[in-house]
């Protein structure tokens, strides 16, 4: 898995916005779920920390940290 963006907002949204679905998780200990890109964008926009974006085999993976992850 290749890291593209660390804790970004606009950059992540701009990169994924043309996708139909992405792999998404909230909190580093949770598993990825395939969600509509709109769901992931709302999660990123509501995050206090932004999101990490990864790419693997043409798929985007969005990780939004939870408050507990940041301590």
d(CA 22, CA 34): 6
pLDDT digits (tens, 9 = 90+) for 23-68: 999 987 899 999 999 999 999 999 988 999 999 999 999 999 886 6
CB 26 within 8 A of CB 64: yes
H or E segment and range at residue 40: helix 37-46
The predicted structure's pLDDT at residue 66: 80
The predicted structure's pLDDT at residue 40: 97
CA distances from residue 3 to 18, 27 in whole angstroms, order as listed: 19, 17
Q: How many domains does the chain have?
A: 1
The predicted structure's pLDDT at residue 70: 59
CB 61 within 8 A of CB 54: yes
Give the structural domain span for 28: 2-70
Greater model confidence, 28 or 21: 21
The predicted structure's pLDDT at residue 25: 96
The SS3 assignment for 44 reads helix
């Amino acid at each position: 898995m290749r890291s593209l963006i660390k804790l970004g907002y606009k950059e992540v949204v701009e990169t994924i916005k043309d996708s139909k679905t992405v792999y998404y998780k909230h909190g580093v200990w949770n598993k990825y779920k395939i969600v509509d890109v709109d769901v992931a964008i709302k999660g990123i926009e509501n995050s206090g920390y932004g999101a990490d974006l990864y790419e693997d085999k043409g798929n985007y993976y969005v990780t939004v940290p939870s408050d507990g992850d940041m301590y």
